[in-house]
Amino acid sequence: MHLFRHSLLLFGVLLAVPTRNHAQTSQPAKHPVSVAFTYQAQRSNTVGGNIFWLQGGGGEIAAGLYRGFGIAMNIAGMHTSNINNSGVDHTSITMTFGPRYTWRPKSDRLAIFGQTLIGDSHGWNSVFPATAGATSTYDAFALQVGGGVDVKMSHRIAFRPVEANWVRTGFSNSNTNVQNNLRLGAGIVFRLQ
């Protein structure tokens, strides 16, 4: 959570810089700012262990900084019940932050992006093995690498038909403490500038 707070502060400062520059000109925004809301499904594979699906949703805010390079912050909440008929549930929120590159063809109808984000994942409502028994909550490092496509519908709205990310988390699982997750999503994007 400490890393997330610092990332959020840095993101706010960097977001304020292009916004102020935009207010001083009458040209179209060179530093686009967008907010996205997505439905997500995640296939979780504990290394050497079980495979299960989670469902949830997420939100993100992204800002362009220079020639397609920008930053993004993503928050996703996922849940599954009765993992592999074990009677154990799992709920998690992953908060990640990092660089994003967006490529826009000359038509400006598509935006294709790739990103590498790092942060924290907080799991609860589950069973996480520990040296002194088991605990129902756990905080772990999260790494998210992937990308997606946005299709412009109007000046302010885009549809995201696909987003795919590899998300690596480190929840305690009495095996390798590594989870490799495939997270798929689709949603709507609102362009603020």
**Statement: the pTM of the whole predicted model exceeds 0.95:** no
Supply the pLDDT for residue 22: 44
Give the residue, 27 or 67, on which the prediction is more confident.
67
What CATH topology corresponds to 2-191?
A: Porin (2.40.160)
Domain locations in the chain as residue ranges: 2-191
Task: Please state, in angstroms and as integers, the Cα–Cα distance from residue 182 to each residue in 5, 29, 84, 108, 187, following that order.
Answer: 26, 33, 18, 29, 17
Supply the pLDDT for residue 9: 52
Supply the pLDDT for residue 185: 95
The two tokens of residue 140 are: 């772990």
Beta bridge partners of 75: 59, 95
pLDDT tens sequence across 104-159: 998 889 999 999 999 999 988 887 877 788 877 789 999 999 999 999 999 999 99
The C-alpha atoms of residue 149 and residue 159 are separated, in whole angstroms, by: 8
The total number of residues shown for the chain amounts to 193
Longest dimension (CA), the chain: 62
138: amino acid identity, one letter: Y
Q: How many CA atoms lie within 13 A of 89 on its CB side?
A: 11
The C-alpha atoms of residue 145 and residue 143 are separated, in whole angstroms, by: 7
Supply the pLDDT for residue 48: 61
Task: Please state, in angstroms and as integers, the Cα–Cα distance from residue 130 to each residue in 49, 121, 170, 173, 175, following that order.
Answer: 17, 17, 13, 9, 11
